[in-house]
Amino acid sequence: MSTKKYSEITPEVQSLTELCIKNSTIDPELYVKYEVKRGLRDINGKGVLAGLTEIGEVKAYTIEDSEVIPCEGKLFYRGIDVEQIVDGFIGEKRFGFEEVTYLLLFGELPTVGELTEFKKILADYMTLPTSFVRDIIMKAPSRDMMNTLARSVLTLYSYDELADDISIPNVMRQSLQLIALFPLLSVYGYQAYSHYHDGQSLFIHAPNPELSIAENILHLLRPDSQYTELEAMILDVALVLHAEHGGGNNSSFTTHVVSSSGTDTYSTVAASLGSLKGPKHGGANIKVVQMIDDLKKTVSDWTDEAAVSAYLESLLNKQAFDKAGLIYGMGHAVYSLSDPRANIFKGFV
């Protein structure tokens, strides 16, 4: 069967879909009547507590006399302001992602010796099983990187003799291995996509154990393995700022739900990647690019403020792009006045 035929929505499927919608739609008023929380939010749209964590904390408002007062956004890793963390390693002109990974996992900043040993552990784990790239990543490459990552993570289960052991030491070993392997899985998956879907030349470089994770990503990504110090530094900061966000976001909550069943690490992480892909979560960044591309097609003169404003209004009115009524990349579900991560990135502009 051809892929076009396989993906076809037949009239029969369309008819069954309409029948399903007709007999399966819940009256929205019932959610209010029974105080059902939708999407981990109360009826006023405020997030609800779904767990406790000491790993990350987000501050977006204060409460004074039962009144919510918006404040400048703050993000803390193990109680330390992330802006302070970034200022520390940037000021010393060194990479920080491995150090932050250690902090998030173990609750304290490493000494120089501990960080050196930790980097060595990650470097030793930065090797995929024999023929994994050829047999798994290069076969039927996906058009979406998140699906590629999820499939690769699930397949790693087959290479792990202790895949179902969920003791803490074994889960720690698996987690460290996945942290070390994600740069390879990401870049090799992208190279496969570029080659088989975009007709680009295929380049597969081996990782360099002497490089940081940020440097390795650029080394693996570029055909000539070349990159600037500024590129590596900005990517490293991006990795740091995306390492944790309070434990209550969709993909983190997915991890709690799936792991609570006692399933294996690979299944849990793959499920979380599926959550992260969604356009209302991590996939929103892809939607931003697609939205801008649609803007370029729709508005011939990008300097025409009236035309751009009209396009934005059509987005909000569910008349343009994906008709979701959203301007992707604007606003945040938690932060109110400012996003500390955005403020840090602005320092490089």
Q: Could you report the per-residue pLDDT of 158-194, keeping only the tens digit for each?
A: 999 999 999 999 999 999 999 999 999 999 999 999 9
- pLDDT at position 41 is 65
| Tokens matching residue 122 | 């990650």
H/E stretch holding 69: strand 67-77
The number of helix segments (H) and strand segments (E) in the chain equals 16, 3
- pLDDT at position 7 is 76
Nearest to 295 by CA among 346, 345, 342, 329: 329
| One-letter amino acid for residue 257 of the chain | V
- pLDDT at position 257 is 92
Mean pLDDT computed over 197-202: 95
- What band does 262 get if pLDDT is binned at 50, 70 and 90? very high
- pLDDT at position 49 is 64
- pLDDT at position 336 is 82
Mean pLDDT computed over 225-253: 92
How far, in Å, are 184, 188, 265 from residue 221 at the CA level? 9, 8, 27
**Residues 291, 335, 240: CA angle, nearest 5 degrees:** 80
Please tell me whether residue 46 adopts helix, strand or coil conformation: coil
- pLDDT at position 110 is 95
Pick the CATH number of 90-280 from 3.30.930.10, 3.30.310.50, 1.10.10.10, 1.10.580.10: 1.10.580.10
**Rounded distance between C-alpha atoms, residue 267 and residue 269, angstroms:** 6
pTM: 0.86
Q: Which residue has the higher pLDDT, 85 or 281?
A: 85
Locate CATH 1.10.580.10 in the chain: 90-280
